[in-house]
Structure 1
């Protein structure tokens, strides 16, 4: 019998007289089902294709729609006129030619690696102080809500941008230092005049798109129960929902998607991306994004709308049912210690580990699922270091929606990098933690006070998600 078993057996025998195991031999229990991040829809795949599988239990019709939606998501759109009539209408101004250009393998985008490289999933949102009729922020009067840095043949590009970085040093309690990179954006080569005075520029990085339908399937009351806008419990966390405009119903509803929870559902999120990112019109967003002086009616288009209602719905279904991959190494004792630390330092105040979906979603496979997304979908003040100073419906310039953490540990496998936060400024999980401020400042400070091994355990845990 090895030494560990001898000690453990002796402690069992002598338990009545108070024998206790040393921490080195303490076994932490695994929760039942904690590896199933997406409940029964979880996919058992951890390869570079891990984000590209559908949830299980779809109907035959849903599986067919998933395949068609997949093709429209991955294949490039072209400008009109074209023989490819189902995928023409790109532009006239755009950021990408396909959804997959920003969400490669259904994963994340990244900032440009060098000056002159085309942005791959990072774009700049533009807004002014004030509120539009639908409750959203006011757009730039020339360039709209988004700087589109590409244009079809014959049109002048709206503009481009470069990024420089300022070093910021964070020091742990044990003396270890980490150099963070604060991005500074410079917009240049504007094609239609200057930006409006007081313009707010907010970089937005394309996120991985697994599990979106499960988040949509959460009951509103579940999320409201997690909110505490006035911090009545005094824990320093005051998450609150955003309320945004639902184009289809002409109503104000809870926001769930986007970095500031500024979209109410998956379909509108998809339609907004088609419009802003690719210049593709839909029944939800029928207007082209043309600056004053450019007659969009004189430019060939792909029809009105350029993506049909049926095809838009299929792309929305595709992005709704992309399955969440299974956790790996979840029963490793260091991982379980890291999980405990994740909770004790306060990370789970916003990154809620376990939620249950409701029973009303249109896709039956997403109903009544016990999921582990590690989010509350609420807005939190993240402090001045992360502020973009750009309000978005009810979200202030310092507030961001808690991102889901599932899939975090597979980003490098799928995409070959681990750029995190809303603009990719964090190059890894630890840097992302160190960028936290505001409501998360206390949790960050506690992380900085951990021992090296405790930090390794916590990061090891997060890499299993």
Structure 2
């Protein structure tokens, strides 16, 4: 039986932020040099690093101490995969800067499938039928608009096309998740709502009721900063209204989700798990108030526990599985990974399950392995735009504030990806995503109180910051956090609590000039 083990003493790892290793032991030996358990990365065909490469990587990813000039290659957010920073809404829709001419064709075909509008069955358009019967969107692009962030509703009348509610209930006896609990230490047992499944769908094909309508309201809280500036934080309340299949379970836990931006996913997937795990410190043994934890989830494809990397709580191990889960839950499309043609319909939604489906023809599934691979390739190769204004004195001052207030404790600036045999775009690149890929307790105000894998109801994965300054340009709004409640970068910072309360308080106490510089730095990313 595979288990998760937490190392009991600090690792002396030069050039890293610091922490402790959490790993899945899959029969792979423990490194004698660093006493770090080796986490298997079965999704990557890697070429081992040499000792000389490891030393170079430690040096080049060490935290900056000189803020008089940019670091070498800092403007290249994604290494050789970086793309030029466009000034229009397509800034997040470019292929990796180092992609080959031949692979760019696959990228474009994948883009077509990402944008494809699915239709209900039966249909004369056999390659496009299978929608729903209940769904949140008819295409991937419908939520990830322009490959950027989704748009949360402004009010109860707004059509929340890029937002939905995940739902689950406690599994107190360990019933549905018993096998996963045996395989993964620390796994929090939950199960779908017995009627509504694992998420609520606000659309349905003809003849079927939608599951719900999302109602949202806000109350405002004014926070006064040290210089007297006032920042208003809006506290959302979410209601699942007009439920189409009766009431939710009395213990139902709801979590609002806005679609995140898509850039740089392949590079995040190519980071060595050890480079992530070395930063974990679940018991805060170093006393810095930061206790990042790894989410470890069961891989349907590789049939083993893996490091969670994707999703707002790091609930998916690979882009392929994240894509397949989105097809199933968001659009109701079957894949070789999640094979049910009726998507998220529960066993108590008999009419939904019995509705015509689009699988069973030559494709076998509503999107076959070739199509799923193309969408995955597209998602893996959405390019990260280059930094702007890296030499600007205000941006450099803001970088110093970012580092000195302790933001890098979670938003780890840089990594070098693995050498990969079959992914040249992501292989051995110095990247600057500003994330540790770990779970952190962000306090009660941001809590959704819904666990996912090993993530508790107050924990969220540190989101990457690359491209964040282009949000308004791409998405036509500047809403941040998991549910879009923050209407600016400053609001997003002030919402930080829990492990990040100390960093937030330092920002609140900043003089105006330094706070403005911090925002200028974030906008340059």
TM-score range, shorter chain: over 0.9
Residue aligned with 1:280, SS = coil
CA drift of 1:62 comes to 2.5
Alignment partner, residue 18 of structure 1: none
1:38 aligns with 2:93: no
Which consecutive unaligned segments of at least 5 residues does structure 1 have?
Answer: 1-25
Q: Deviations over 1:38-71 (max 9, x none)?
A: 1110001322211001113334443222111100
Question: CA separation in 2, counterparts of 1:299 and 1:53?
Answer: 38
Question: CA separation in 2, counterparts of 1:296 and 1:195?
Answer: 17
1:372 aligns with 2:432: yes
Question: CA separation in 1, counterparts of 2:336 and 2:409?
Answer: 39
Alignment partner, residue 49 of structure 2: none
Deviates more, 1:246-255 or 1:139-148: 246-255
Q: Deviations over 1:125-157 (max 9, x none)?
A: 001112532456311000011000100001111
1:164 aligns with 2:217: yes
CA RMSD of aligned residues (A): 1.5
Residue aligned with 1:101, SS = coil
Higher helix share: 1
Question: CA separation in 2, counterparts of 1:46 and 1:231?
Answer: 41
1:236 aligns with 2:289: yes
Residue aligned with 2:218, SS = strand
Alignment partner, residue 308 of structure 2: 255
2:354 to 278, 298, 301: 298
Q: Is the 8 A contact 2:215 2:239 kept in 1?
A: yes
Deviates more, 1:439-448 or 1:226-235: 226-235
Structural mapping, 1:1-400, within 5 Å: 28-47=68-87, 48-130=89-171, 132-133=176-177, 134=180, 137-287=190-340, 288=342, 289-291=344-346, 292-296=348-352, 298-303=354-359, 304-360=364-420, 362-400=422-460
Residue aligned with 2:235, SS = strand
Aligned residue-pair number: 440
CA drift of 1:397 comes to 0.6
Residue aligned with 2:141, SS = helix
Question: CA separation in 2, counterparts of 1:282 and 1:426?
Answer: 35
TM-score by length of 1: 0.92
CA drift of 1:113 comes to 2.4
CA drift of 1:116 comes to 2.8
Q: Is the 8 A contact 1:217 1:361 kept in 2?
A: no
CA 225–414 in structure 1, closer or farther in 2 if over 3 Å, else same: same
Question: CA separation in 2, counterparts of 1:299 and 1:246?
Answer: 29
Runs of 4+ in 1 over 3 A off after TM superposition: 295-298
TM-score by length of 2: 0.82
Question: CA separation in 1, counterparts of 2:319 and 2:353?
Answer: 29
CA drift of 1:359 comes to 1.2
